[in-house]
Amino acid sequence: MITALHNLQLITDGTISNGKAVLISNGSITAIVDENAIPADCKKTDLKNAFLAPGLIDLQLYGSGGKNFGGVPEPSALAQMEHDLLNEGTTGFFATIATNTNEVVEKGIEAAKAYREKCKGNFWGLHLEGPYLNVEKKGAHPAKFIKKGTLAEVERWIGMADGVVKMMTIAPELQDQEVIDYLHDHGIILSSGHSNATYQQGKSFLNNPVEAVTHLYNAMPQMHHREPGYIPAIFEERPFTSIVNDGIHVDFAMVRLAKRELGDKLFLITDRVTESKEGAYHHHFTGDRYVMPDGTLSGSCLTMLKAVENCVEHVGINLAEAINMASLYPAQLVKMTKKGRIAPGYDADMVIFNEDFKISGTLFKGDFLTNLT
């Protein structure tokens, strides 16, 4: 049976179209047709003029619903994230492990491998943020766990991961080339973050082979007219670059500047945490942000759709382009070739929301999800 979604505002590839219907079958999008050309044998679903957009993708978050996978990595935390994120329209994500002991990192890898066998499917793998960072830009990461990578250690972790580690945030200026080359050669997306790189260092490793930057402006040297620092190198080399668009981690004026400089390489993440009193990270919610016990700003309380809304309401980015930043561009970075667009042959993972940015449904693998339990 082919399902036809109609009476909708279609958002894809940076445009919004009316009068279209989306046909889906067996978890895939089969066609986009004019609404008056829906085949007679289709099951029609009226979306009541809501927006229909590609499912959102979050490549960096640590936990949800009181379960902080980033600090206490257990399969139940991944299950909580899958459930909550599907309710929020996020149909793909990387669960993130922050800088920690080897024991915790390896426990997280084993938890992810175990959960991978039974996951709903919006859990795509792990993002290790650390421990190979620069202590000068540690942010909320405990200095005692930050270290330089070794070839023996990355061989152990990537070997035991069996493909579940997808992305690593490192400070490239401190790592031996053999470590960087090994990770790149084994398909790990390398992202520079918590780095104190100079302009010249950034020019040397960005896109060669470090293909991404983690949470622009946060935990990196700031620009100066005589010491340009790392940020101008990012703007010139234009790797895929994530940003936390909550108005707290980054002022909206600086998001606007980043968009102007980076264009289709700037993408949204939540960098989201949850209340936690276990493990190395005790995140305390203060009403609009999370902080560590010493007051250091930690993760956000964003959802991906809220980050999109902030683009529209506070940064001046149009809705269709903001959706690209939350779906198409992260899909391109991780080379998910059937995600991030609503087009024939793409996976039927989509989010439905109204003009007030309230979600009315998520389509995942072609199934319409409501009132998830």
Buried b (16+ CB within 10 A) or exposed e, 310-340: bbbebbebebbbbbbbbbbbbbbbbeeeebb
Q: What is the CA radius of gyration of the chain?
A: 20
Query: Nearest CA to 78 among 127, 102, 112, 129?
Result: 112
Which of helix, strand or coil describes residue 44? Answer: strand
Which of helix, strand or coil describes residue 66? Answer: coil
DSSP 12-42: ETTEEEESEEEEEETTEEEEEEEGGG--TTS
- Give dist(CA 333, CA 354) in Å, integer: 28
Instruction: State phi, psi for 134 to the nearest 5 degrees.
Output: -105, 120
Is-contact 274 67, C-beta < 8 A? yes
CA angle 231, 328, 251 (to 5 degrees): 40
46 catalytic? Reply is no
Angle between helices 151-161 and 102-116 (to 10 degrees): 20
In the chain, the amino acid numbered 130 is: G
Half-sphere exposure of 131 (CA within 13 A, CB side): 22
- Give dist(CA 12, CA 90) in Å, integer: 16
> One of 246, 271, 347, 349 is an active-site residue; which one?
271
Determine how β-strand 189-192 pairs with β-strand 212-213. Answer: parallel
Buried b (16+ CB within 10 A) or exposed e, 265-290: bbbbbbbbbbebeeebbbbeeeeebb
How many helices (H) and strands (E) the chain has is answered by: 10, 20
Q: Which residues are catalytic?
A: 271
